Chains A and B, each alone.
Chain A
């Protein structure tokens, strides 16, 4: 997918018609839009989202619970104003001004599309349009350049770029952290979205189908076992155990979903506490949320330390238990050195004598003579390159063992200390959270007290659900062992039933197929993670200010780590964190593009879409901002950046200038009596006025000006 042109009509603060033409030129694939804060950078990204998916996420904050209900998109009453004696006076609203519309032209797989969504401000209900009141159309251009209306436009859009994946391509600043937070939705949604972008969820569907086939086949197989007199007792047990298994599996699916919802609710209530009450309460609430975040991060770090500790077993265990072998084989090593192992005669030497028909004692070695046979017999005991090579390998193995005990103990002490520190931090965060909760309760605010009480209940429910899952998993494993035992007993009984054999063969085939699919999934996902991590490492190595890099774990979480280790870094700073996240997203998009034409039988091609971002630069210093502007264009195929004027520096031109194919700035038309800051935007030696006091009927709100 490539964006071609966005046209808006009465969209938020962009009164009338506005357009942004996106660059699709090779090596000039960046469209840069400069705008002051609060003048509509995210608004334009939301225009794309609303047009394609009918969603406008950032309007949440404008909805008042008890006051004004509806978000103003067309601002039609505001637009219908005039200036009288230097003041703005409202006039009678014009009905046509209450209509708003967004049109997006884009290309996908060589076909040009035109999507249009329009609605009326009068039909706004909260942050959405009343159901059925908006009009969405999608046209595609054929070869003769004429347009054809697509019958089910929303389904077509879903096939091109599904809504749940769009968050990974259409970013507003604050959502970068949010969508990369796998804990926010219980993990699976995030992981699956990333896997979907890469095309890896196709085999999930196949696995589900295979499971269904397996269930049906098992039922039939068990009925056959039950029907046979020799095995009917086992058949009854198997049927009962399989019914239990299905029931427990269903329960587990439900529990996991409930657990996911509970975790999300807990996260939401923690956020709500931070936003409730008067200033002091909010401050403590925010601190509480921060401490909980720290605690949760520390818990993740602790898991990493435990993994580091576990890894010591594989790294050092065999060398320590086998250390004494070095002494055991030392005499053999000496014998080899002395040429006595296995003996001093080398096969190539013997072969050479036989080929030349001459012994070293100068006697002739003629075939079929006693001398020839005697020399040839030496080959049976002669040393060979295979022996030599294997002996060398055996002795080399002992080289692993030297000094490993000291290193092991040092490494174990190191990781144990980190674990102790981590435990200490978790404990101190827990105490701090308890103190802050007490302080919050102390204000006597019933709303906050209720929220805290609900939070406590939720926490208990979350833990209870985790225990339920754990318990059911144990029962399920026992059930599986029991089934395996019975099936093994049945195998010993000869039933001579061809249909049963066929069912068993079918079961084996399904299990082998499943195993292969899972093997491929693991293999290719590991490889994808490896390649994405490699790109992230490259960026971090080049641009990070500190010794931190970032790793991508099995759930596609991007974690800042201390270079050269798997230890999760603490205190890296938000700038470094944002750098790693942006780096991950571009690496993901870049890798997905590589998979665009993948013809694998087990995975779908990767998703290709433009990267549209409201640059989240507020948490980054100038170095990081410049670095980001350097690697984003290098790793995207079409990039649209909305950049705050306050964060633009002329020297950024050095890194991004050559990639810019289209460039715009927002011009704000200040109302009489409004504050004119005289801000100017410096680009390539020119200064552009971004605020003007020419507010009138034809110059409202914000306009978009192209810089050529």
Chain B
């Protein structure tokens, strides 16, 4: 079973977004794995490759099984990255999940920039604005 890690540099940001926030009414993601999925997608949207990412493992680790249905996203990122179905072969788990881990790293870096650049104090508003920016070009007329 594969295990993915957040980088040591991102422990604070994971605490801010994930289960580090004790007040659940203010918690942005219900769990760290949900935040990792989000961060990975942000990372993938800003980078075409994650080949050069080197993770310095922190104590914030997540086991593959924890992701439940969201494992699909890890497979999607791996397929997109490898552009070949071979990567899905049994025994390649570490390679598959490496994509999620690396893109999450790049996503965390991007999110750090959002926070630093934004004049808005509320973290959730910063993120919602960014999602809105990404959503507008995707809108289809009903």
Contact = CB atoms under 8 A, between A and B. Distances in A.
Interface of A: 303, 306-307, 309-310, 312-314, 316-325, 328-329, 332, 335-336, 341-342, 381, 383-384, 386-387, 390-391, 393-398, 403-406, 408-409, 412, 554
Q: Chain A contact residues: over half helix, strand or loop, or mixed?
A: helix
A557 B94 CA distance: 44
B80 A313 contact: no
Contacts of B79: 329, 332, 391, 394
A567 B53 CA distance: 42
A328 B80 contact: yes
B55 to A, nearest CB: 18
Interface residues of B, number: 44
A394 B28 contact: no
19 contacts: A306-B25, A314-B29, A317-B127, A318-B37, A318-B40, A322-B41, A322-B76, A323-B138, A325-B80, A328-B80, A335-B85, A386-B89, A391-B85, A391-B88, A393-B76, A395-B76, A397-B73, A405-B138, A409-B132
A312 B128 contact: yes
B84 interface: yes
Given A384-B89, A409-B135, A324 B45 contact: yes
Contacts, number: 132
A332 B138 contact: no
Interface in B17-33: 24-30
B88 A310 contact: no
Q: 5 shortest A-B CB distances, which residue pairs? A: A405-B138, A397-B72, A394-B75, A342-B85, A390-B88
Contacts of B73: 318, 322, 397
Q: Chain B contact residues: over half helix, strand or loop, or mixed?
A: helix
A329 B85 contact: no
B81 to A, nearest CB: 10
Nearest to A407: B135
A409 B132 CA distance: 7
A314 B139 contact: no
Given A314-B34, A342-B85, A386 B90 contact: yes
A363 to B, nearest CB: 29
Most buried by B among A307, A318, A329: A318
B54 interface: no
A386 B88 contact: yes
A307 B27 CA distance: 8
Contact of A387 (B34, B85, B134): B85
B44 A321 contact: yes
Nearest to A342: B85
A318 B83 CA distance: 21
Nearest to B142: A406
A309 B126 CA distance: 12
A303 B44 CA distance: 33
Most buried by B among A320, A325, A341, A342: A320
B50 to A, nearest CB: 14
B113 interface: no
Most buried by A among B42, B76, B80: B76
Given A313-B124, A317-B41, A342-B86, 14 more contacts: A306-B25, A312-B128, A318-B38, A321-B44, A325-B44, A325-B80, A332-B85, A341-B85, A342-B84, A394-B76, A403-B140, A405-B135, A405-B140, A409-B139
